[in-house]
Each structure stands twice: as C-alpha cells, then as structure tokens.
C-alpha cells in the first residue's frame, strides 16, 4: 500500500471529488467558511478529524460528513433539504467504486450547530484504504 493514500489531504481530495456539487453546491473540507451567504440553504463539510490507522496491508478510519440545512423561516429543522442531501449521498456511496478507497456508511445522527444556527445531520463513514 502506498502510504500517501491515507494522508488526510489525499482523503479529503478523494471525497471532495466524489461529493462536490452532488450533495451540496457548497462543499468544504476541514472547516466551514467564516462567511455563509444568505442565498445558501445547504452545506456539506468533510471532516477527517479522526485518526486513520495503518494496518500494514490496509489503512482504515472514520470520516464524518456534516450535512447542513438552513432552518425554515420559523426556525424549525428543514427536513426536506436534509432528506434530499442524504438521498443524494446514499446514491453516491452506493455507486462509489475506487481501486484504493472503500467506503461504508456506519452511522448517522442529528445535531444543531448553535454557532451557525443551522441544523445538521452527521453521517459517519468507515473508510478503508488499500
């Protein structure tokens, strides 16, 4: 296995290429931007903050995908936007084929980002790298 394949930047580049503009027009790796335009209703954050472990023949680790939706006008969770994002993500993951990166959807849960005041669904992926 080429060890550079499990560098954080390589993983972010792979996932960004796989997901950008397909789940959200506003896809970011690492951190969200400081400025969020008022015209945006969704965002996707690729979070490789967890460790990737070298298992000699393969590497594996957890990647979190944060799917953000601007709340509805009354402040309630915008479930239709989050549902559309999760559906698009599921389709991409079901069809993702790569010689080196193998993705499994492991878990998902809901949260609220009180700094941004947006709801989010967090999808946990298990990434295995040859």
- Asked if pLDDT for residue 3 goes beyond 80, the answer is no
- Asked if pLDDT for residue 92 goes beyond 70, the answer is yes
Measured on CA atoms in the order 26, 77, 83, 106, is the torsion positive or negative? positive
SS3 119: strand
Structural domains in the chain plus CATH codes: 3-29+40-129 (3.30.70.1700)
Query: Model confidence over 9-61: pLDDT tens digits?
Result: 999 999 999 999 999 999 999 999 999 999 999 999 999 998 888 888 889 99
Phi then psi for residue 83, to 5 deg, are -65, -45
E strands, the chain, are 27-29, 42-47, 52-54, 59-69, 101-113, 118-129
- Asked if pLDDT for residue 1 goes beyond 70, the answer is no
């Amino acid at each position: 296995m080429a060890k550079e394949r499990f560098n954080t930047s390589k993983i972010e580049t792979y996932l960004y290429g796989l997901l950008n503009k397909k789940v959200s027009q506003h896809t970011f790796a690492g951190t969200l931007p400081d400025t969020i335009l008022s015209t945006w209703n969704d965002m996707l954050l690729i979070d490789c903050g967890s460790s990737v472990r070298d298992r000699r023949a393969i590497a594996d680790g957890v990647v979190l995908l944060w799917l953000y939706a601007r709340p509805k006008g009354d402040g309630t969770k915008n479930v239709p936007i989050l549902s559309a994002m999760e559906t698009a993500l599921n389709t991409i993951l079901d069809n993702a084929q790569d010689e080196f990166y193998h993705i499994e959807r492991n878990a998902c849960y809901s949260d609220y980002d009180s700094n941004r005041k947006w709801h989010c669904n967090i999808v946990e992926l298990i990434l295995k790298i040859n």
